Copies of this chain bind each other. A is one copy, B any other.
Amino acid sequence: MSSSFEANLAKLANLSVQTGVGLLPGQELIISGDIAFAPFVRLLQESAYKLGAKNVFVQYSDEQGTLIRYRNGNPEAIGYSAGWFHEAVAGMLEGGGAYLSITGGNPGLLKEVDPSLVAASSKAHAQAAKKLSNVIMEAKANWCGVPYATPAWAKLVFPEVSESEAIAKLWDAIFATTRVTEEDPIAAWDAHCSELERRSAYLNERQFHSLRFTGPGTDLTVGLADGHLWCSARLRADNGAVCIPNMPTEEVFTMPHRNRVNGVVRSTKPLSMRGTVLDGIEVEFENGKVVKAKAAKGEEQLLRLIDTDAGARFLGEVALVPNSSAVSQTNLMYFNTLFDENAASHIALGQAYAETLEGCSELTDEEKRGQGMNESLIHVDWMIGSGETDVDGVAADGTTEPLMRAGEWV
């Protein structure tokens, strides 16, 4: 790789720790990622220690090890997840730690694995990691997810070129969308976050009762939770640190009302989930619940997903992203939600984010449910916006305001 690549990777590492995680001096940082990401992990470690980290604990995973488990594990093994470890990580984070997750594995890793095993294993993991997931979803710790280009991922995005060229092209896209190639990436992120915050402030002021999405195969009304808050890139965690949980990020997002979603919706991009790629999803909602679901590709995985638990058929997030976003401008299909969800408006089935409900931490579980907050072991985003999508804000009195036309902010 070229020296400019090395320089950009080091810049991405520093940006991820300083601006993404927003690491505080003296914090302990946990980094999770595949052993294939080691060159990047080492740069992250260096950045974190230079920024005063007390410790960097790296939890390396291994895709090959995951496959070995599916191929050789007995049913007891497939239905088990190391809760003792997830609990320990959750405790460390609640005690003041920070979390950095690196994404970039093979989106099709598990395509040959029996979907029933993947569903059983994913559910066991979600149950065992419930507390850890809550720490993240409730912003008790500062966290960030950043990408790393691997050969399998790059070849899926750029199938027509050689592996090395595909990797180089994917890195170019990563560096562009994470603003690493800007003259001052940290200043560029500050400006970008401010712009998103201006947008979410406007939507918070409007307090729409619902959003209506229309486009090919889509006529969907997404009611918003009572007391919903629009959020965007930057988040202040309970520990006082300010982080950017996703890099890249282009969305403003809020909490749907779990029982006030009605209509039909068609996905506009493939969805990479649990080691396989779903496409052509079509779903019908009735009073918040998915009552019909099909997919041109990965239908079995989709049906198993929405049967995970009682909340898996209801929405936990709705997000608006213009078709001209920095990620969308790359004109690529990434097969990676961290990217694809930032190229299109999207909705997520499952757990809602506490930060998107005003005063959530002071509410009882019953009050949260009453205001429309959904709970589930899953949280799966999928893309429903495109250059042909219109979005209207609908006020409590039924009057409408055009928010997006042909995928762009009005």
By a beta-carbon cutoff of 8 Å, the part of chain A in contact with chain B is: 26, 28, 35, 38, 41-42, 45-46, 49-50, 52-58, 60, 62, 64-65, 68-69, 71-74, 76-77, 80-82, 84-85, 87-88, 91-92, 95
Determine the residue in chain B with the shortest Cβ distance to A92: B84
**A91 to B82 alpha-carbon distance, docked (Å):** 12
Complex: A62 Cα to B26 Cα, angstroms: 22
Write the nearest CB–CB distance from A150 to chain B, whole angstroms: 15
Number of copies: 2
Q: Give the residue of B35, B50, B68, B85 whose beta carbon is less than 8 angstroms from that of A72.
A: B50
Question: Known contacts A46-B72, A54-B80, A84-B88; can you find 20 more A-B pairs with CB under 8 A?
Answer: A26-B76, A35-B35, A35-B38, A35-B60, A41-B65, A42-B64, A42-B65, A46-B68, A49-B68, A49-B73, A49-B77, A50-B72, A53-B77, A55-B77, A55-B80, A56-B69, A57-B82, A58-B60, A60-B62, A84-B92
CA distance A52 to B74 in the complex (A): 7
Known contacts: A49-B72, A62-B41. The answer to whether A85 contacts B88 by CB under 8 A is: yes
Q: How far is the CA of A50 from the CA of B92 in the complex (A)?
A: 33
- Residues on B with C-beta less than 8 A from A77 are 49, 53-55
Are A38's CB and B62's CB within 8 A? yes
A92 to chain B, nearest CB (A): 5
| Contact A45 to B28, CB < 8 A, known contacts A58-B62, A77-B55 | no
